[in-house]
Amino acid sequence: MASVVGRIERRLLINFRVDAGVLGRYVPPPFRPRLVAGVGMGGVCLIGISALRPPRTPVWIGVRSENMAHRFAVEWEDGGVRRQGVYIPRRDTASTWMAWAGGRVFPGWHRLSAFDVSTQGRRLTIAVRGAGGGADVDVVGQVASDFPGSSVFPSLEDASSFFRSGSAGYSNARRPGRYEGVELLTDGWSVEPFQPEVATTSFLGDAASFPRGSVEFDCALLMRGLDCRFRALPPLEAHPAERLACAARRTAITNP
Which CATH number is 3-254 given?
2.40.400.10
Give residue 244's pLDDT: 53
Other C-beta atoms closer than 10 Å to the C-beta of 7 total 17
Residue 227 φ then ψ, to 5°: -70, 145
Asked if residues 45 and 12 have their Cβ atoms less than 8 Å apart, the reply is yes
The C-alpha atoms of residue 97 and residue 17 are separated, in whole angstroms, by 33
- Identity of the amino acid at 233: L
The pTM score is 0.90
How many Cα atoms sit within 13 Å of 134 on the Cβ side?
A: 13
* Cα dihedral 191/193/199/205 (nearest 10): 70
Give residue 249's pLDDT: 42
Domain range annotation of the chain: 3-254
Diameter of the chain measured on Cα atoms: 55
With CA atoms as reference, report the closest residue to 217 among 154, 169, 148: 148
pLDDT of the chain along its 256 residues, tens only?
688 899 999 999 999 999 999 999 999 999 999 999 999 999 999 999 999 988 989 998 888 999 999 999 999 998 888 999 999 999 999 988 778 777 777 778 889 999 999 999 899 999 999 988 889 999 999 999 999 999 999 999 999 999 999 899 999 887 788 899 999 998 888 999 999 999 999 999 999 999 999 999 999 999 999 999 999 999 998 765 555 544 444 443 333 3
Where does residue 89 rank: exposed (0-12), middle (13-18), buried (19+ CB within 10 A)?
middle
Give residue 80's pLDDT: 84
The one-character DSSP state at 158 is: H
The C-alpha atoms of residue 197 and residue 140 are separated, in whole angstroms, by 6
